A and B are shown apart, each in its own frame.
Chain A
Amino acid sequence: MSNDIEATIRNIDNVAIIDIKGDVTAVTGEAIEEAYQEVSLAGSTKILLVFDQACYINSGGIAILIGIVSESQENKQIIRITGLSEHFHKIFDMVGLTRYTDIFPSEAAALQGF
Chain B
Amino acid sequence: MPDNMPHTTEPSSTDAEHSQRELERRIFHLKTLYDVSQGIGSLRDPQQIMKNLLLMVIGTFGALKGVAFLVDVQQGRIAAVTQRSMGRTALAELQQSIEAGYFDELKGVTDIQQVGKKLSALLADAQLQVWLPFVVNENFQGGIGLGAKMLGDPYTPDDRELLSTLANQLTIALDNALAYMEIQQLNVGLEATVQERTAELRGALEQLTEVNQQLELHNRFIRETFGRYLSNEVVASLLESPTGLQLGGEKRHVTILMSDLRGFTSLAGRLAPEQVVIIINRYLGAMVDVILQYEGTINEFIGDAILVIFGAPLWSQDHAPRAVACAVAMQLAMAAVNTQNRHDGLPEVEMGIGVNTGEVVVGNLGSHKRTKYGIVGTHVNLTGRIESYTVGGQILISEATLHEVGPILRVAQQMKIEAKGIDGPITLYDVRGIGGEHNLLLPEGEETFILLHERIHLRYTFLEGKYLSGAVYTGSLVKLSFKGGEIHSDTPVAPWSDLKIQLINLDGQPIPGHLYGKVMRQFSEGPRGFAVHFTSMAPEVTTFFQSLLVMGAAH
Contact = CB atoms under 8 A, between A and B. Distances in A.
Interface of A: 1, 25-27, 29, 58-64, 66-67, 70-71, 90-91, 94-97, 99-100
B55 A59 contact: yes
B89 to A, nearest CB: 15
Interface band, chain B: 20 to 34
Contacts of A60: 35, 39, 52, 55-56, 59
Given A59-B35, A70-B85, A96-B151, A64 B64 contact: no
Contacts of A29: 55
A1 B38 CA distance: 10
- Greatest chain B CB density within 10 A among A61, A62, A64, A71 is at A62
Contact of B59 (A1, A61, A70): A61
Interface in B2-31: 21, 24-25, 28, 31
28 contacts: A1-B35, A25-B39, A26-B55, A26-B56, A26-B59, A58-B32, A58-B35, A59-B31, A59-B55, A59-B56, A60-B52, A62-B59, A62-B60, A62-B62, A63-B54, A63-B59, A70-B65, A91-B24, A94-B62, A95-B59, A95-B60, A95-B61, A95-B150, A95-B151, A96-B62, A96-B149, A97-B62, A97-B150
A71 B56 CA distance: 18
Given A95-B59, A95-B151, A59 B28 contact: yes
A80 to B, nearest CB: 17
B56 A66 contact: no
B150 A59 contact: no
A94 B84 contact: no
Interface in B63-85: 63-65, 84-85
B57 interface: yes
Given A60-B56, A96-B149, 5 more contacts: A59-B32, A64-B59, A96-B62, A97-B150, A99-B151
A66 B24 CA distance: 19
B51 interface: yes
Contacts of B61: 95
A87 B65 CA distance: 24
A67 B31 contact: no
Contacts, number: 87
B365 to A, nearest CB: 85
Contacts of B152: 96
A97 to B, nearest CB: 7
B329 interface: no
Given A58-B35, A97-B150, A67 B85 contact: yes
Nearest to A69: B150
A60 B58 CA distance: 7
Nearest 4 CB-CB pairings of A with B: A96-B150, A95-B62, A59-B59, A62-B59
B55 A63 contact: yes
Interface of B: 21, 24-25, 28, 31-32, 35, 39, 51-52, 54-65, 84-85, 149-152
A71 B25 CA distance: 25
A112 to B, nearest CB: 26
B151 A58 contact: no
- Greatest chain B CB density within 10 A among A59, A62, A99 is at A59
Contacts of B21: 90, 94
B151 A59 contact: no
Given A58-B32, A95-B62, A26 B150 contact: no
Nearest to B36: A59
B28 A91 contact: yes
B25 to A, nearest CB: 6
A100 B55 contact: no
B195 to A, nearest CB: 35
B52 A66 contact: no
B390 to A, nearest CB: 105
Contact of A66 (B25, B51, B150): B150
- Greatest chain A CB density within 10 A among B52, B57, B84, B150 is at B150
Contacts of B62: 62, 66, 94-97
A66 B54 CA distance: 13
Given A26-B39, A26-B51, A91-B24, A58 B149 contact: no
Contacts of B57: 59, 63
A91 B35 CA distance: 15
A100 B61 CA distance: 15
Contacts of B54: 63
B24 A64 contact: no
B24 A26 contact: no
B52 A26 contact: yes
Contacts of B32: 58-59
